[in-house]
Structure 1
Amino acid sequence: MIYQFKVTLKDVEMPVWRRLQVEGETSFLEFHYILMAAFDWMGYSLYEFDLRKSGGKRLNGTRIGPEEGTPMIESDPLLLMLRQRLSNPEDYDLPRYLAGEKEKLSDWFKQDKDRVIYTYDFRDDWEHEIFLEKKLDPDPESQYPLCTKAKNDAPFEGARRDLMSGQLDLTNPNGKEIAEDINETYRFDGWKDEFLSRNDFM
């Protein structure tokens, strides 16, 4: 089964979104890479999926992300704090992360309008609202993942300050070209290897 999502980047002063079609058996870790390609993120930063609605029921405090024990930069105070919180969430009244490589989209996106917030980079706090629009039968003429529509550019890595100061214009009227570029990435062999891993700069 193919899941069609509308993924909207929040709090960027203009509409920035992608319509994506993804196989339901895709893991959340794989989905993380699909989203990075769709929004031009590079992979320098941590991420999480905050599950807000599943099977039509509201959720609170259920998160999916890197498996506990994922290496982080020892010298970064923010990441040390996050490591402590992830390692001992009961001390902070926080839930444990479910491992992204073990959870599938079909486990949580049960029906239309189920919703998840994907946060990339806890410093710049890029929040994306992921909304399940519908489920589709696979098209034998299509390859997945697939971006079918896009609106405006996403900001570049670490650009929150530039965006807030008005130095960054995300306007791009050529949504068709954006979608084509995204799909070109998905069709490239080994495309996930193009993204950085936190292990690369340990």
Structure 2
Amino acid sequence: MGAMDSCEAGTGVGQDSVLEVRVDLVDSEPEIWRRFELPGSLALSQVHQVLQAAFGWEDAHLHRFATSDPFAPLLHGEFPEVLQWLPGQQCEEPGDRPEEDCSLDQLLALGSGGAFYEYDFGDSWLHRLELVSRRPADEDSPPARLIDGARRGPLEDSGGFPGYEEIMDALADPTHPDHAEHSAWVADITGSVAPFDPAFLDIPAVNRVLAEQFRRTQSGEKRRK
């Protein structure tokens, strides 16, 4: 059995290693990034939830994990076939693997310390995961913690970076012909008429969301037992 076939993980948090992982939103300029402390045994389905919360996504689109950049062209301009993990119910192709059955540590090992996470196959927000360090877990280790980062994530359905940048340019210029239209759209998406600041990142708020996510997960596991 090869490494790609033995990627198995539980759904709970194990007392193994705490991984420091940096996640960059590929092609963002200025850079949009996050740095986490995460249990190595965290199932990819849970890593997905962590990334959704940390980048402000709304889990409204498809996603996948991969061991290498799925958009790095080969010599002849074709895209490579990469190992990928999806929610179990979405695995349709022979090479698809359930994300519930693979841990973060195993994914990073298969990718030699790095991996990728794509969210929204239309806008194609590609995140690069890189293992920075590891340490032994202890009883006080949180199930997931954001320790650093820069800038908020782009808005849902903004059209990838070209569309998002166009919207930000219009918001920043009251004389822009699309200023009013884009301002109304952003207010509708965010649920707030407050000025939108793409540089703002509220790390304590993200960690409160993560703590609540894992509290609900652990409560659900106890009820099932």
Greater RCO between the two (CA within 8 Å, min separation 6)? 1
Deviating more after overlay: 20-29 vs 154-163:
154-163
**How far apart, CA to CA, are the structure 1 residues paired with 2:137 and 2:102?**
21
Q: For residue 126 of structure 2, what is the aligned residue in structure 1?
A: 127
- 1:85-136 alpha-carbon deviations (Å, 9 max, x no partner): x63x4xxxxx621100011122232399611110000011000000011111
Task: Indicate if the aligned counterparts of 1:153 and 1:170 stay in contact, CA closer than 8 A.
Answer: yes
Q: For residue 208 of structure 2, what is the aligned residue in structure 1?
A: 184
Stretches of structure 2 that go unaligned for 5 or more consecutive residues are: 1-16, 70-79, 170-196, 219-225
**How far apart, CA to CA, are the structure 2 residues paired with 1:41 and 1:112?**
25
Q: For residue 34 of structure 1, what is the aligned residue in structure 2?
A: 50
Deviating more after overlay: 108-117 vs 130-139:
108-117
**Counterpart amino acid of residue 121 in structure 2:** F
Larger proportion of strand: 1
**Counterpart amino acid of residue 190 in structure 1:** R
* TM-score in terms of structure 2 length: 0.64
Deviating more after overlay: 114-123 vs 133-142:
133-142
Q: Which has the larger radius of gyration?
A: 2
**How far apart, CA to CA, are the structure 2 residues paired with 1:112 and 1:98?**
15
CA 1:113–1:102: 2 relative to 1, 3 Å: closer
Task: Indicate if the aligned counterparts of 1:47 and 1:65 stay in contact, CA closer than 8 A.
Answer: yes
Q: For residue 199 of structure 2, what is the aligned residue in structure 1?
A: 171
| Alignment length (residue pairs) | 161
**How far apart, CA to CA, are the structure 1 residues paired with 2:34 and 2:140?**
21
2:31 counterpart of 1:15: yes
Deviating more after overlay: 96-105 vs 163-172:
163-172
Q: For residue 199 of structure 1, what is the aligned residue in structure 2?
A: none
Q: Kindly, what percent of the aligned residue pairs are identical? A: 21
**In structure 1, the residue corresponding to 2:41 is in which secondary structure?**
coil
Task: Indicate if the aligned counterparts of 1:112 and 1:132 stay in contact, CA closer than 8 A.
Answer: no
* TM-score in terms of structure 1 length: 0.70
CA RMSD of superposed structures (Å): 2.7
Q: For residue 144 of structure 2, what is the aligned residue in structure 1?
A: 145
